[in-house]
Structure 1
Amino acid sequence: MIRGLQLSLNKTQKLRLESALEQLESLSSKTNTNASVAVADTIPVNYEDGVLKGHGTSEMEGQVVATVCGVVERVNKLVYVRALRARYKPEVGDIIVGRVIEVAPKRWRLEINFSQDAVLMLSSMNLPDGIQRRRTATDELNMRTIFEENDVVCAEVRGFQHDGSLHLQARSQKYGKLDRGQLLRISPYLVKRRKQHFHHLDQYGVDLILGCNGFIWVGEHVEAKDDMVVDQTNKSEQQNANSGGSVGSDDQEQSHTSLEIRQNICRIANAVRVLSALGFMVTVEVITEIVDLSSSLNLDIHEMLGAEFYVVVAEREAERRRSSTKKR
Structure 2
Amino acid sequence: MRGIQLSFNKTQKLRLDKALEQLEYFSSKLNSNAIVTVSDTIPVNHEDGVLKGHGTMELEGEVVATLCGVVERVNKLVYVRPFRARYKPEIGDIIVGRVIEVAPKRWRLEINFSQDAVLMLSSMNLPDGIQRRRTAVDELNMRTIFEEYDVICAEVRGFQHDGCLHLQARSQKYGKLERGQLLTISPYLVKRQKQHFHHIDQYGIDLILGCNGFIWVGEHVEVKDDMIEDQTNKSEQQNNKLSGLASHQNQEHNYTPLELRQYICRAANAVRVLSTLGFMITVDKIMDAVEMSTSKNLNIHEMLGAEFYVLVAEREAERRSSSSKKR
TM-score class, shorter-chain normalisation, is: over 0.9
Q: CA deviation at 1:326?
A: 0.4
Q: Which one-letter code corresponds to 2:93 in the other structure?
A: D
Partner of 1:144: 143
Shift of 1:235: 2.3
Once residues 264 and 195 of structure 1 are traced to their aligned partners in structure 2, the CA distance between those partners, rounded to angstroms, is: 25
Distance 2:288 2:156 in 1: 30
AA at the equivalent of 1:233: N
The aligned counterpart of 2:158 is 159
Q: What CA distance in whole angstroms lies between the structure 2 residues aligned with 1:208 and 1:78? A: 34
Pair 1:250 & 2:253 matched: no
3-state SS in 1 of match to 2:315: helix
1:282 partnered with 2:281: yes
| CA contact 1:186–1:214 (8 Å) conserved in 2 | yes
Find the counterpart in structure 1 of residue 99 from structure 2: 100
Structure 2 CA distance for aligned equivalents of residues 79 and 52 of structure 1: 6
1:95-244 equivalences in 2 (<5 Å): 95-225=94-224, 227=229, 232-236=239-243
Question: Residue in 2 aligned with 1:322?
Answer: 321
User: Per the alignment, do residues 248 and 184 of structure 1 end up closer, same or farther by CA in structure 2, a change over 3 Å counting?
Assistant: closer
Gap change, CA 1:150 and 1:278, over 3 Å in 2: same
When normalised by structure 2's length, the TM-score is: 0.93
Q: Deviations over 1:87-111 (max 9, x none)?
A: 1111111111000011111000111
Q: Alignment partner of 1:282: what SS?
A: coil
Q: What is the CA–CA distance in structure 2 between the aligned matches of 1:249 and 1:116, rounded to whole Å?
A: 36
Please say if 1:271 is aligned against 2:270.
yes
Q: How does 1:291-306 map to 2 (within 5 A)?
A: 291-306=290-305
Alignment partner, residue 83 of structure 1: 82
Paired AA for residue 250 in structure 1: N
Quick one: percent identity of the two aligned structures?
A: 78
Cα pair 1:110 1:117 within 8 Å, conserved: yes
Q: Is the 8 A contact 1:130 1:231 kept in 2?
A: no
Instruction: Report deviation, 1:58.
Output: 2.2
**Separation of aligned partners in 1, 2:243 and 2:182:** 34
Query: What is the CA–CA distance in structure 1 between the aligned matches of 2:162 and 2:171, rounded to whole Å?
Result: 26
- What residue is the counterpart of 2:259 in the other structure? 260
Residues in 2 aligned to 1:170 and 1:180: alpha-carbon distance in whole angstroms = 20
Cα 1:51/1:195, change in 2 over 3 Å: closer
How far off its partner does 1:252 sit?
A: 5.0
Q: Distance in 2 between matches of 1:252 and 1:122?
A: 25
Distance 1:102-1:248 versus aligned 2 partners, 3 A rule: closer
Residues in 2 aligned to 1:249 and 1:155: alpha-carbon distance in whole angstroms: 25
Uncovered stretches (5+) of structure 1, i.e. residues with no partner: 241-246
Amino acid at match of 1:20: A
The two structures have a TM-score, normalised by structure 1, of 0.92
**Code of the aligned partner of 2:12:** Q
Would the aligned equivalents of 1:98 and 1:111 in 2 still touch at CA under 8 Å?
Answer: yes
Provide the rounded CA distance (Å) in 1 between the counterparts of 2:107 and 2:6: 39
Q: Secondary structure at the match of 1:43?
A: coil
Q: What one-letter code is carried by the residue in structure 2 that aligns with 1:232? A: N
Letter in 1 for 2:208: I
